[in-house]
Structure 1
Amino acid sequence: MSVLDQIVKAYDIRGTVPDQLDADVAHALGVGFASFIRSNSKAERIVIARDMRPSGPAFVEAFSRGILNQGIDVIDLGLGSTDLMYYASGVLDAPGAMFTASHNPAGYNGIKLCVAGARPVGVDTGLLDVKRVAEEVLEGGGPKPAASAGSQSERNVLSDFAEHVLTFVDLADIGTMRVVADTANGMGGLVVPAVMERIPSVELEVMYGELDGTFPNHPPDPLQPANQRDLRARVKSGGFDIGLAFDGDADRVFVVDELGVGLSGSTTTALLAVAALRAAPGATILHNLICSKSVPEVVTEHGGVPVRTKVGHSYIKQIMANTGAVFGGEHSAHYYFARNFNADSGLIASLMVMAEVGRSGGPLSGVRAPLDRYAASGEINTQVDDASAVIEQISAAHSDYDQDRLDGLTVNCGDWWFNLRPSNTEPLLRLNLEAPDQNTCADRVAELLTMITS
């Protein structure tokens, strides 16, 4: 496999530094992205932001040089969250690149790409074209430089972005609230205070707010319960109303209630769907197929139209555009908003949850209670030699039940269901299962894992 084969994923570019991703590769990808943009649009400028990883500045410089070489201008946004970059791409109607490895450990970096209006670039929408040209550049070829190089400028959009986020709620709904945010030394340390300081009634405490891409306190992956441990303890010891756990590039957030108990991505999706439907009665709401079945139930109960999707931001953003959906949520804590250029934002989700709690007049534990209806396994990964063969065996063993292949294999067994999906990049099968209660969930998981491993 070439280095680009290793780092170009389904939705973005991500690899270890410097053995997979270095300045030369970043430069080649800059040429590739500029070539793709030039061939598919009339865009004359590209916005670029980066997270706090130590390799970021050198990679942005090399990537920008590749773009400028092709005669396209660069607007350098500097340090920012991924949703800040999406905002800039939307309001400036320009393609964008975000240098981040999101929740990955310190040894990684990567790039998230979008075209003008924050529309995603994945393997089905241009990423393979970027890769092809980058390979040519690394082999000593590629497109010739433009007759006139592009120009580079800097722009700070943090204040404008913060004001944009605030438009998603009525600040009066939030009221007086004590909030603690664990930003994991990631970009939340920059953007969360910039938004919260504009709400006088909110008292904010930030944990691990220093921007440090070596992540000295804990990994920036709040999907793992261990990385929420400090936040949960602080919520309880400090008597906070809500806790917020952001990932490294701050486009995702996990929520913790006042009792120190975390909300699943599905529960938060259901809560946000209720808020979205209050503002847009009868609207379409998207949820990926790993979300709890409580999500479509809640959407239907509140007069909305639930639409089930594959996992992944590029799929969801495209379906949002096609259906006119106002909101979409994923079990992994990605939350998408039509008024945010169909892009995801941890900050917008945070404020909307806070507003729902404020409107209720009670604690978050009470708001979440009617939305927590089933027991879920969480995602369980198992290494297998032949993922396709295992999926077919599991399908045959459950042939008496309703099945579909929207994304991997989903089997509806009446009062419980499961999904089995192969990893895009590793020899793994990902199992997600939901049942009426924890004991049934554990029993069904054990049965399936026995079948998978045998």
Structure 2
Amino acid sequence: MRDLGPIFKAYDVRGVVPDALDTDVARAIGAAFADFNERAPVVVAHDMRPSSPALAAAFAEGAADRGSDVTRAGLGSTDLLYFVAGHESMAGAMFTASHNPAQYNGIKMCGPGATPIGEETGLTRIRALAERDLPPVDSPGTVRDRDYLADYATYLRSLVDLSDIRTLRVVIDAGNGMAGHTVPAVLGDAVGAAPPLSVDPLYFELDGTFPNHPADPMNPKNTEALRRRVRDSRADLGLAFDGDADRCFVVDERGEPVPPSAITALVATRQLAVEPGGTVIHNLITSTAVPEIVREHGGTPIRTRVGHSFIKARMAETGAIFGGEHSGHYYFREFWRADTGMLAALHVLAALGHSTRPLSELAAEFSRYSASGEINSEVSDQAERTAAVRSAFAGEPGVEIDELDGLSVLFGDGSWFNLRPSNTEPLLRLNVEGADEETMRSLRDRVLEIVRA
């Protein structure tokens, strides 16, 4: 009996190829996936990593052998996979390791209608099935190929109209990832007349070895080329996507990053203008400005734990119109509550294109506090260090302790910090927000002194 524990994570499957993840393992997981979904139709897509086509093909074989009819969508972004799963009511499997280095690969899975599958909603069961030798079925399924890129692009363009925006010059860094495949279809001539955009492409060549920089825009080092190109070319903005193009990061005309919390608030106001009084989900690391702005625009903010499965579950429970995370994931009810960086990018382009102001001024409306960004500290005992921080702050007047996800400490002036353990590494992750830069830095340094003692 095989042990797949090391590659099954909280939200997906991920491991080094071929040491931990090879075609035999992919085939076994495909078979288990078909059983878990009661042999529902399955769509499989993959990114540009050298190992992805063979792994995706093996998964498709495994699912078909267990009786599922499988559609191989070929190259695609993760949100393209969600589009197909939602639009066609199929279960879905996307082969990607997102922003991880080239030697990694993985599988993001969803149920029919793009319903999330995480550790608590199916991954544990899929792992148990994949670790066994399943008996043969009487009626195997079929395997067919179909390209959904044009359908995906047409659907996104139907949600956000860019035809009447002012002319914008945008630099887009695909990081040699899947945005190099999807951006030309969505923003180019593939679905009709191109919008009034001048797109300056950076690293659009699909290359899963990532020769220019890691496809992780959350790390500022990986957006240096984008920020420089925006400044040098006097572009109106820059967009950066991660490897599987489900996350989008934005820089303004000065080459300065626009915080994902500001993008969350901006998109929320656009969604609330269409559906007044709607509910907006935000995770607990999102800026305090987000719930403030949602309320000011007549909406109802709901705070959740970090992670796509929690966001999607709360969206389903509440009928929320939109959700956003500090990590650049944006979720839309009209996109089956799935995350799509491309749709968020369209909203940013539309907002800027209908404004006469530069993006830096527009984004300033949605940025009210000073944030540290995520700071990682390697520790020998996560629980002990967290307890020490809790003890240091718990007795102070006006302090609120919240343990929804890790340790959150909230102060009367709106400042807060969250300390969360990594699920996979001996790290504590700290996020701090203050009313101003001085307050944030002082609070950050005080917490880090305890964490790193």
Q: Does the TM-score normalized on the shorter chain lie above 0.5?
A: yes
Aligned to 1:121, which of 105, 117, 120? 117
Match of 2:443 in 1: 444
Give unpaired runs (5+ residues) of structure 2: none
Match of 1:179 in 2: 170
Aligned to 1:84, which of 76, 80, 85? 80
Aligned ranges 1:310-349 → 2 under 5 Å: 310-349=305-344
Tell me if structure 2 keeps the 8 A contact 1:165–1:195: yes
- Aligned-partner SS, 2:175: coil
Distance 1:329 1:311 in 2: 10
- Aligned-partner SS, 2:131: helix
- Aligned-partner SS, 2:159: coil
RMSD of the alignment, in Å? 1.2
Per-residue displacement from partner, 1:376-423 (whole Å, max 9, x unpaired)? 111111122221222222112111310111111111022321001111
Tell me if structure 2 keeps the 8 A contact 1:185–1:210: yes
Match of 1:23 in 2: 23
Task: Tell me the amino acid that sits aligned with residue 159 of structure 2.
Answer: F
Match of 1:147 in 2: 138
How many pairs were matched up? 444
**1:122 Cα deviation (Å)?**
0.3
Task: Tell me the amino acid that sits aligned with residue 351 of structure 1.
Answer: L
Task: Tell me the amino acid that sits aligned with residue 166 of structure 1.
Answer: R
Match of 1:366 in 2: 361
Distance 2:353 2:318 in 1: 31
How high is the TM-score relative to the length of structure 1? Answer: 0.96
Distance 2:90 2:145 in 1: 14
**1:200 Cα deviation (Å)?**
3.2
Distance 2:6 2:270 in 1: 41
Match of 1:139 in 2: none
Aligned ranges 1:156-195 → 2 under 5 Å: 156-195=147-186
Match of 2:426 in 1: 427
Distance 1:164 1:349 in 2: 14
Tell me if structure 2 keeps the 8 A contact 1:82–1:249: yes
Per-residue displacement from partner, 1:156-197 (whole Å, max 9, x unpaired)? 110010011112223245332111100000000010110101
Aligned ranges 1:231-270 → 2 under 5 Å: 231-270=226-265
**1:58 Cα deviation (Å)?**
1.1
**1:439 Cα deviation (Å)?**
2.5
Distance 2:364 2:31 in 1: 51
Is residue 296 from structure 1 mapped to residue 294 from structure 2 by the alignment?
no
Task: Tell me the amino acid that sits aligned with residue 206 of structure 1.
Answer: P
Aligned ranges 1:364-403 → 2 under 5 Å: 364-399=359-394, 400=396, 401-403=399-401
Task: Tell me the amino acid that sits aligned with residue 19 of structure 1.
Answer: D
Tell me if structure 1 keeps the 8 A contact 2:171–2:200: yes
Distance 1:219 1:303 in 2: 40
Distance 2:14 2:274 in 1: 37
Task: Tell me the amino acid that sits aligned with residue 142 of structure 2.
Answer: S
Percent identical residues: 52
- Aligned-partner SS, 1:124: helix
Distance 2:386 2:40 in 1: 46
Distance 1:99 1:422 in 2: 27
Task: Tell me the amino acid that sits aligned with residue 175 of structure 1.
Answer: R
Task: Tell me the amino acid that sits aligned with residue 294 of structure 1.
Answer: A
Q: Compare 396-405 and 197-206 and name the one that shifted more.
A: 197-206
Distance 1:428 1:248 in 2: 24
Distance 2:387 2:228 in 1: 44
Match of 2:93 in 1: 97
- Aligned-partner SS, 1:371: coil
**1:155 Cα deviation (Å)?**
0.8
Tell me if structure 2 keeps the 8 A contact 1:71–1:145: no
Tell me if structure 2 keeps the 8 A contact 1:173–1:356: no
Per-residue displacement from partner, 1:58-97 (whole Å, max 9, x unpaired)? 1012111211110111100000000000000011101000
Distance 1:176 1:431 in 2: 40
How high is the TM-score relative to the length of structure 2? Answer: 0.96
Give unpaired runs (5+ residues) of structure 1: 137-141
Q: Compare 395-404 and 213-222 and name the one that shifted more.
A: 395-404
Tell me if structure 1 keeps the 8 A contact 2:96–2:106: yes
- Aligned-partner SS, 1:35: helix
Distance 1:377 1:173 in 2: 37
Distance 2:164 2:253 in 1: 18
Per-residue displacement from partner, 1:31-84 (whole Å, max 9, x unpaired)? 11112111xxxx531000000000011101211121111011110000000000
Match of 1:280 in 2: 275
Aligned ranges 1:43-82 → 2 under 5 Å: 43-82=39-78
- Aligned-partner SS, 1:414: coil
**1:333 Cα deviation (Å)?**
0.3
Structure 1 residues 108, 19: closer, same or farther in 2, change over 3 A?
same
Tell me if structure 2 keeps the 8 A contact 1:3–1:20: no
- Aligned-partner SS, 2:391: helix
**1:279 Cα deviation (Å)?**
1.1
Q: Compare 354-363 and 111-120 and name the one that shifted more.
A: 354-363
Per-residue displacement from partner, 1:14-36 (whole Å, max 9, x unpaired)? 11111111111111111111121
Match of 1:109 in 2: 105
Distance 2:296 2:195 in 1: 35
**1:429 Cα deviation (Å)?**
0.9
